[in-house]
Homo-oligomer: A and B are copies of this chain.
C-alpha cells in the first residue's frame, strides 16, 4: 500500500515540480535527471534532403541560410547549455524557452515577434493515460521541436520528407509545422479507440455479469478522460489561434490545412465528451443493477419468512405441553384421531394461500425488474 502511495504522491509532485517559485521568470531550470538533449536536423527543399545528428549547435545557422526549410528536433531536455545555445542561435524568446523546460504546460499558441511558439501534449498510452510535452517554434526558415524523450509520432512525417511524398517538400516551414501538429492530434485517435473499446466492454459487463471492481475501473477511466480532456480542450484553442491569428509565419494555404487539423481536434473533443457521458451513464446503470439485485434478495428473504414463520408458529403451537388431561379445553386437538393430518392440511393451505398471494403480487416467476442477461437482445 505504502508503495502505491509513494507512486501516486510521486505523480502529483512531478506535476508541480516545474512551477518552482524560487527562480526569476525566464530562467531555464533543467531537470538534471531528464535525458540529455539529442539534436537532429532534417533540412530539405523541393530537390534534396539532408538529415544528420548535430552536436555543434552553432552550425545550425548555416542550415537556415542554405535550405528552404530546416527542422531541428531536440529529444531530451536534461542539459541547460545546449538549450541556451540553441535559444541564442535561433533567437528563441527566453520565456518560451522556460516553458519548453517546464514540461507541464497547457497546450497553447504564443506569438512572439521572431517566431510562433506552440505547446502541445503528445499522448502516450502506456497502461494509464499519460502525455509528453512537445514544444514547437515556427519561423520563416525553420521549425524547432522539443520533446521530453526519444520516441514520437513523427516518423511518418520524416518518411514523407525523405521520400518526397505529398506536398511537404514543396512547401514552407508552416506546412511542416502543420504536418507535425496533425501527427500529434492524430495520435489521440488510437487512445480514444482504446477507451471506446473499454467502454463497450464495460457496457456489456454491466448488462451481463459485472465483475469485481467495475466501479473502480469506471472511476479510473473517468479520471483518465478528465486528463485527456484537459489536454485536448486547450489544444483546440491552440490550433484555432494558430489558424486565425494574424501572423506572418503562416501562409493562407497552410491555414486551410490547419482548418483540417482543427476539425480533428473538434472530433476528438466530441468523442471525449461522448465517452464521459457514457461513463456517467454506466455508473447509473450499474447502480440500478445493484438496486435490482438487492431487491431480488429482499424478495427471496421475504418469501421465505412469509412461508416459514407461520408454519413454524403452528408447529410450535402444538409443541406446547398443556396438560390435556386437566380439561377438555386444553389442546384437545392432540388427542384427535386425525389431529396430525389436520394440522398438516392447515399448513398446506397456508402455503398455498401465500403462494397465491405472491403470485398476485407478482413476486414469483422471473423478476420483472431485472437488468440481467436477456437484456442484450433488447439493446439491438
Q: With CB as the reference atom, state the residue of chain B lying closest to A11.
A: B200
The answer to whether the Cβ of A125 comes within 8 Å of any Cβ in the partner chain is: no
Instruction: Check A300/B300 contact, CB under 8 A, given A291-B287, A319-B321.
Output: no
Main SS at interface, chain A: helix
Closest to A209 in B: B368
Question: Can you name 14 extra interface pairs (CB under 8 A) apart from A8-B201, A25-B166?
Answer: A25-B260, A105-B267, A106-B263, A207-B216, A216-B376, A290-B291, A293-B295, A293-B369, A294-B298, A295-B297, A305-B309, A315-B316, A318-B320, A319-B321
> Which of A35-43, A73-81, A142-150, A332-340 contacts the other chain?
A332-340
Task: Report Cα–Cα, A230/B209, bound state, in Å.
Answer: 30
Number of copies: 5
Whether A256 is near chain B, meaning CB under 8 Å from some CB there, is yes
Query: Would A369 and B302 count as touching, CB distance under 8 A?
Result: no
Contacting pair A308 B297 (CB below 8 A)? no
Chain B residues whose CB sits within 8 angstroms of the CB of A85 once the complex forms = none
Q: CA A344 – CA B189 in complex, angstroms?
A: 65
- The answer to whether A16 touches B190 (Cβ under 8 A) is yes
A32 at the interface (CB under 8 A from B): no
With A8-B204, A315-B317 known as contacts, the answer to whether A340 contacts B331 (CB < 8 A) is: yes
Query: Which residues of A, 104-124, contact B by the 8 Å Cβ criterion?
Result: 104-106, 108, 110, 112
Any B CB within 8 A of the CB of A137: no
Taking a contact as CB atoms under 8 Å apart, the answer to whether B216 and A371 are in contact is yes
The answer to whether the Cβ of A9 comes within 8 Å of any Cβ in the partner chain is yes
B315 and A339 within 8 A (CB): no
A293 to B319, CA, bound (A): 37
How many Å lie between the Cα of A212 and that of B189 in the bound state? 36
Q: A25-B257, A200-B9, A334-B323 are in contact. Are A214 and B182 (CB under 8 A)?
A: no
Contact assessment for A300 and B306 in the assembled complex, using a CB-CB cutoff below 8 Å: yes
Whether the Cβ atoms of B298 and A322 lie closer than 8 Å is: no
Judged by a CB distance under 8 angstroms, whether A5 is at the interface is yes
A259 contacts B by Cβ under 8 Å: yes
A225-262 residues at the B interface, CB under 8 angstroms: 226-227, 230, 234, 256-257, 259-260
Interface size on A, residues (CB 8 A): 153
Given contacts A223-B281, A291-B290, A302-B300, contact A330 B319 (CB under 8 A): no
Question: Measured between alpha carbons, how far is A349 from B305 in the docked complex, in Å?
Answer: 20
Pick the contact of A304 from B196, B207, B309, B333 — CB < 8 Å?
B309
Q: Is the CB of B371 within 8 A of A213?
A: yes
Contact B321 A334 (CB under 8 A): yes
Stretch at the interface among A44-52, A59-67, A270-278: A270-278
Docked pose: A201 CA to B1 CA in angstroms? 11
| A182 to B1 Cα, complex, angstroms | 37
**Chain B residues, Cβ within 8 Å of A219:** 203, 281, 284-285, 379
Q: Which of B13, B297, B370 contacts A299 (CB 8 A)?
A: B297
Partner of A24, one of B5, B99, B167: B167
Q: Which of A179-210 contact B (CB under 8 A)?
A: 179, 182-183, 186-187, 189-190, 192-193, 196-197, 200-201, 203-204, 207-210
Q: Which residues of B contact A8 (CB under 8 A)?
A: 197, 200-201, 204
**Interface presence of A162 (CB below 8 A):** no
> A288 contacts which of B1, B153, B277, B287 (Cβ < 8 Å)?
B287
A380 within 8 A of B: yes
Check if A286 is an interface residue, CB within 8 A of chain B: yes
Bound Cα distance A40, B322 (Å): 95
A22 at interface, CB cutoff 8 A:
yes
Verify B334–A21 contact, CB threshold 8 A.
no
